[in-house]
Structure formats: C-alpha cells, structure tokens
Chains A and B, each alone.
Chain A
Amino acid sequence: MLENEANPTISKSTGLPRKRFYRARAHSNPLSDSHFPVPISPSHVDYSLHYPQFFSSSGEVGSIKKVQFADVGCGFGGLLISLSTLFPETLMIGMELRDKVTEYVRERILALRTTNPGQYQNVSVVRTNSMKYIPNYFEKGQLTKMFFLFPDPHFKEKNHRRRVISPHLLDEYAYVLEAGGIIYTITDVEELGDWMKSCLENHPMFEALAEEELEADPAVKLLNTATEEGQKVARNEGQTFQAVYRRIAPSL
C-alpha cells in the first residue's frame, strides 16, 4: 500500500492510481514464455491473499467460497469494478498478461477498498497467461461467467493462433465453466466478431443465448459501457459485435 505522499503514481485527490504511469503496449505475444509464478494446480492458489475479508488466514472453516467470474484480459479493470458492486457476494478475478497494467489494477482495487470500506473486497487481479494457465487456476466447472472484452484481434493469418478465442481454447473454457455458465465476448473488429461467433457456434459445448435472455442479463449491458475500450468505441460511434453463449453438456 503506497502511503508515501510524494508518490506521483497515485493521485492525491482521488487516491486512485494515475494511468499514465502504467501505460503499456496494447499487444503482447501470448505464445511466448514469461517470467511470472504459475500455481501448480488450483488448490495451490492462496485466495486469502486476494480476498482477505472473505478468507480468514487463521484457518477458520468459513465459507468455502470460490472465484466464479473471470475477466480474461481485464485491461485497466473497468468491467471488474462495475461487476464488483453489481454482484457483491460473488468472488471475481481479472487475468492480465501485461505487468504494468496488472499493477495498475491492483493499485486501483486497493485504493477503492480504502475509500469505500466494505466494498470491492470481492474483486482481485492476477498476472498470468490465460491461454496457457486457466486450468492451473480454476477447477472443473468452477466458473459461472467468463468475459472476453475487446480481445487483441491478431489480424494476420499467421497470428490467428494467438487469438484468445479458438476451438482449442474453447475446450478449456468449457472445462472451467459449469454447465449453464456463460461466456461473454465483444469486439469492435467485425472480422474478429465473426470469428468468435463462428468458433462458439461450431463448438459442441456452447449454445447461443436467446434474445430474451440477453435482455434480462445485467452483465450484457456492461459489455459496451464498462470498459475504457468500450467507451472509446462509443465516443467514436463505432459498432460492436457481441457473442454471448451458454456452456451446455455435450449431447450424448
């Protein structure tokens, strides 16, 4: 926790971290190996570090709560912050590959917890590569929602394998989502939107949500408005393409 008043990275007025000190390139290569600790298995993750109020480290057999929402590629944390107050009893986590950006989100959450006592205790962030390590963090059927907001389009054909939504990765996302769990995707790049929709449509373990269900889901409304990226697209009056699917049991 940065108490140092002279620290320029935290704004004096809001107590929140200043984005300009945490800027990073928008694109990372998710296929390259990086230097960050990876848990051997979900049981090796110490959730008391992420959600201290929910987990007493004295070993009390309290609620065995588990993370249920994951924001894959959470960026600067806009969606998580909105979801946190919308679902205050649900534990949620953001996964981000870029070091500085993860640091920003971490600072932001800590600052919000201080200025809003009792709130934002259910949200955290972890620096990791979701294309490789999702099964290391989540058990089978653990998640109820997964979010993929404005992922890197990786335009070139040869880079398509770096895309975070792919037939192969959908197998893993289907594994960590419970039956009935929902996957939310949105992009402002039409070609990527078509790609993601087609991957989900062709995967035997996902089916599209009906219009009525989309209307009724509060999380869907956040897709366009909650993130910096989404707000930028709205400012520029761009179009967005979303695909929201439910994880189903495969037909026998």
Chain B
Amino acid sequence: MENTQPEGGENNRDLEVAPALISVHPTQDSVAVAVGSDLRVFDLRGNCAVTLVDETGEAFHKDSIRAIRYGANGKLFVSSGDDKLVKVWSTDSWRCNASVCSEKRVSAVAVSNDGLIITSLEFSPDGRFIVTADRDFKIRVTVFPKKPLDGAHEIQSFCLGHTEFVSCLAFLFTVDYPQGFLVSGGGDSTVRLWDINPGTLLDTCEFGSKAGIVDYKGNEVSCSTVTDLCTIPGSNVVAVAVQSLQGILLVSCDLSSQTFGAVKVISNMGDSFIPTSLGCSSSAELLWTITGVSKPHGSNHNSLTCVRVLSGFKKTIPDAALPELTVVDDNEVPGAEKLLEKLQGSVTVEEEVFLAAAEAVKTSMCNLLIKKQYTTEKREFRKRGRNDKKTKH
C-alpha cells in the first residue's frame, strides 16, 4: 500500500458543495434533511413541517452541514458541519439546546444511548465500544469509558485492512447476535465486515466486480467510493450508496459464517438518481434516501434535493434472498406532499438536475476525504479561520 499524494486540482472552496443528508427518527416520528446550511424537518406524527427555534448565541448553521443524527432514544437530534458548530436539538420542541464550538470542521456525529459525544464515530450496539474511522485507512475501536468526560483512552483494537480512506461505519446486529458486527465502506470500493473486539477482518465485499455494476455513463464501476451505509435493523442486509451508481446496492450477510453473501443492485429508483445519504427507522420497513447538493456559495441556483423512499423490506428470515424493493409513490410516502415540499424545498424535482448533483457530490466527497494540497498563500488564508488557540482555563 503506497502512501501517495493525490493529484489534486486546486478547488476554490466557494465552488464546493455539500451532499444532501437524510436522517430518520428511530420510530419514524420525523424525518430530517440537511442541504448546505439549511436544516429541514418534517413531523410525521403531526403531519406538518417543523419550524426550528434557535436562540443560542450562534443561531442556525452558517455553513454546510456535514452530519446529522437522531439519538437512539429519539429525544435528541444533532447537527454539525463546516461552521465548526455542533448543535443539539430537542426533538419535542425542536429548540436548539446547545451550540458547541469545535476546533475543526466536524465531519460526523453520533449520539450514545445516554448522552452526547462529538467526533466521527459509531457506537457498538451494546454500548461498550466507540468506533471511529479516519482518512488514514484505519478504524479505531475504543472502550467506552466509565467517566466519558475524562476522555476515552483505552483502545480495544484497530480494524486494519482498508486500502483507502474509510468513509462510513454501521453495525449489523440481530437478536441472535446482539453484539453485532461492524460494517465499513471506503474509498477502496469495498464494504468490509469486522469483529471489533479483536479487530479482525471477517470478509471483504468488492462490490464493483461482483455485481457488474455500471455507472450512469455506462462504464463498469470498478473503482468507486462508498458514500453511505445503512444497516437494516433486525436483519442481515446492508444498504450501500456508491458514488456514480444509480440506485443503491443491497448486500446480504451471513452472520453465522461471518461472510458477505449476495449483492443486488436496486436500479429502479429513476435514471440518474444517485443517493448521497441513506436513513432507516428501527421498524425497518422503509429505506429513506436522498440525493442532492447545496448550492455553491454566492450562486443563484437553488439547492437541489430529492427524497425517494424504498419499501419492500419484510421481517424476513435471514436466509431469504435479498428483497425486491420498489419506490414508494410520492403520495404514499409518509407525510406525502407536505413532507416532500418541506424537505425537498418543492413538491417535485426535475430529473435533469440529478446528474449535475452527482458530479458535484463526487468532487465534494473527494475534497472531504482526501487531504488537499494547498499553495502557501491559500494555506495562510485558510489559517485565519483557526480557533484552536490557547484556551483560557
């Protein structure tokens, strides 16, 4: 594995866009979408759009939101991003409880069962471990400490094997396997299965060659980054969003033999629909997907967002074949037109914009996950926004 410098063109940050994100409340009480700095929430119980209230010193996000997540018990919601702010919202009043300033732009957040921790991470299903993924191809498994505020220092293991940056993590667990297995996706076009306790790589799914996947230009997808992963709760199926792939992949997993099984492409989501983010509630009946990008800074164009929902997951026996999924009609989506209007910004979205979105997202993922090379002037310019100076005790 060579540690080489990427060929980076210089990208003007003003032209950068952020992929649209979607997150679903654990009991599907609401659905949240982030497009650029805009956070949009639809309340499915009350069947109405939500107006967010933020009276903290730093009201709302000023720059692209990079991560959103509901807490496991559904009471909290967290959003964070390029403005170096992490905002914690209460899901009953949709008020912002706290705005925390972070030293760096935050790329991912998660909420534990008891509280809140901010880094790029996932919790293991039993809450014993915190798993973080990084750009240097490593996955670190840390023991969740008795006193979280003192920091998490005891490393349980490293999951090493990815040959490119690791972009997303998720846990696959069922009643029979409550501790679960870690699934990771990365820039090396693989989805990998791990036992986090010893840090063992159990299996690798090179989905590119497996499914003979073809991207929207008609080229074989052999080299494509995983943009998002979502495990379907209570099942052995992982939904995968892949850069350049229209639709999604479903990968099945045999938990007893600890290997990946069949890979299926779900391509009936519409031409050029390339999801940027996936979400699912614990009841696991629907897979919510979104595609879209924020509008570039200073641009007159609207941000482009489209939400599509897939159904067809049943509480099947683990050995069953991967399900056929169908796209839920707009008027059958929970919340229907009202939800789509709120989350998308409009009721219907033109298909032509999807391809532009896909290209823009590809560049943006590259920028996020591959270390950029700057000229000296640019580096000096960028340093102005630093806030990791000496803190007053």
Contacts and interface: CB of A to CB of B under 8 A. Distances in A.
Interface string B332-346: 000000000000000
Contacts of B157: 140
Interface string A31-70: 0011111111110000000000000000000000000000
Contacts, number: 65
B1 interface: yes
B342 to A, nearest CB: 41
B393 to A, nearest CB: 13
B136 A40 contact: no
Interface stretch (B16-24, B147-155, B281-289, B315-323): B147-155
A203 B371 CA distance: 30
Contact of B3 (A34, A158, A170, A250): A34
Interface string A166-200: 01001110110000000000000000000000000
15 contacts: A33-B4, A33-B5, A36-B3, A37-B2, A40-B137, A135-B158, A140-B155, A157-B389, A171-B153, A171-B154, A174-B153, A174-B154, A174-B155, A204-B150, A204-B154
Contacts of A203: 153
A23 interface: no
Nearest to A203: B153
Please indicate which of the listed interface residues B3, B140, B142, B157 has the most CB atoms of chain A within 10 Å of its own CB: B3
Contact of B1 (A37, A158, A167, A174): A37
A240 interface: no
Nearest to A249: B154
Interface of A: 33-42, 132-133, 135-136, 140, 157-158, 161, 167, 170-172, 174-175, 203-205, 250, 252
Interface residues of B, number: 27
User: Is the contact region of chain B dominated by helix, strand, or loop, or is it mixed?
Assistant: loop
A136 B151 CA distance: 23
B161 A41 contact: yes
Given A171-B153, A171-B155, 18 more contacts: A33-B5, A35-B4, A40-B137, A40-B161, A41-B158, A41-B161, A135-B138, A140-B155, A158-B386, A158-B388, A167-B151, A167-B153, A171-B142, A172-B155, A174-B155, A175-B155, A203-B153, A204-B154
A207 to B, nearest CB: 14
Nearest to A34: B3
Contacts of A252: 146
B136 A132 contact: yes
Contacts of A133: 136
Contact of B153 (A132, A157, A205): A205
The 5 closest A-B pairs by CB, nearest first: A41-B160, A175-B155, A135-B158, A38-B3, A171-B153
B163 interface: yes
B389 A37 contact: no
Contacts of B136: 132-133
A137 to B, nearest CB: 11
A176 to B, nearest CB: 9
Contacts of B2: 35, 37-38
Interface string B136-177: 111010100010001101110110110100000000000000
Contacts of B371: 33
Please indicate which of the listed interface residues A40, A158, A161, A203 has the most CB atoms of chain B within 10 Å of its own CB: A40
B339 to A, nearest CB: 42
